[in-house]
């Protein structure tokens, strides 16, 4: 049975400089992401049938999992899944504005594009301790939420459109405790075409 595997980054570790530095990207991918993956795979060894399912399917129905792996899927499965998405939410050609059609969707949901960015930044900044900020969709409605640790929006029925890792490991080497500077830098990297693709995906 095939286990879950570490996805490659769609760009080089140094491609997001100067906003996200090469060393942080490399450690984040090869150490943090890899560790979530290894722990997830180890915990599912006695239930190899789960490896046939996309991890987001397991995360979307945690209560249906055997109790002895539920917490590992929530934490390590969440970490594995969220980082797999996160790399694609970033692009060396990112930042700036979304397409006009996707921008209109954000404007109709949040008033205007700058208000959307302000609200997202504020949610990311005020998440206490480790976690993520998310742009999510449920029942046709867009919302900005945060979750703690690796708790997944998909476990609450949300579709993830875009997300920002605000664990200190994502920024501490370059930004130390200045999460606000990291968030400001992130806006230069946001892969809007991936966000739009996910929004339109059924």
Distance CA 152, CA 150 (A): 6
CB of 170 to Mn ion, least distance (A): 5
Binding-residue total with Mn ion (CB under 5 A): 3
Q: With both helix axes pointing from N to C terminus, report the angle between 192-200 and 100-110 in degrees, rounded to the nearest 10.
A: 80
Residue nearest to Mn ion according to CB distances in the complex: 165
CB of 5 to Mn ion, least distance (A): 18
Among 165, 166, 186, 196, binds Mn ion (CB under 5 A): 165
Using the contact rule CB under 5 A, the part of the chain among 35-43, 142-150, 168-176, 183-191 near Mn ion is 168-176
CB of 46 to Mn ion, least distance (A): 27
Q: Does 151 bind Mn ion (CB under 5 A)?
A: no
| C-beta closer to Mn ion: residue 174 or 199 | 174
CB of 64 to Mn ion, least distance (A): 27
The tokens for 176 are: 């130390």
Distance CA 91, CA 25 (A): 13
Q: What is the residue-wise DSSP string for 22-51?
A: HHHHHHIIIIIIHHHHHHHHHHTTT-GGGG
CB of 70 to Mn ion, least distance (A): 21
The tokens for 74 are: 């929530």
| C-beta closer to Mn ion: residue 78 or 98 | 78
| C-beta closer to Mn ion: residue 25 or 170 | 170
Q: Look up tokens 């929004």; give the residue.
A: 199
Query: In 3D, which of 133, 159, 129, 156 has the Cα closest to residue 145?
Result: 133
The strand pairing partners of 131, in sequence order, are 148
**In the window 69-128, what residues touch Mn ion (CB under 5 A)?**
none
The tokens for 59 are: 């995360």
Positions in the binding site for Mn ion (CB under 5 A): 165, 167, 170
């Amino acid at each position: 049975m095939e286990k879950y595997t570490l996805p490659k980054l769609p760009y080089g570790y140094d491609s997001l400089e100067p906003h996200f530095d090469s060393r942080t990207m490399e450690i984040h991918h090869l150490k943090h992401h890899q560790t979530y993956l290894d722990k997830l795979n180890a915990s599912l060894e006695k239930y190899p049938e789960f490896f046939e399912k996309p991890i987001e399917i397991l995360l979307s129905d945690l209560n249906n999992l055997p109790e002895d792996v539920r917490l590992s899927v929530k934490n390590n499965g969440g970490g594995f899944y969220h980082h797999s998405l996160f790399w694609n939410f970033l692009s060396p050609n990112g930042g700036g504005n979304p397409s006009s059609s996707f921008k209109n969707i954000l404007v109709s949901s949040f008033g205007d594009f700058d208000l959307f960015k302000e609200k997202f930044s504020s949610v990311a900044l005020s998440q206490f301790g480790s976690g993520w900020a998310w742009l999510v969709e449920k029942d046709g409605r867009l919302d900005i939420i945060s979750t703690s640790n690796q708790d997944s929006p998909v476990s609450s029925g949300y579709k993830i459109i875009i997300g920002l890792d605000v664990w200190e490991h994502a920024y501490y080497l370059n930004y130390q405790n200045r999460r606000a500077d990291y968030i400001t830098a992130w806006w230069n990297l946001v892969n809007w075409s991936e966000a739009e693709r996910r929004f339109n995906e059924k």
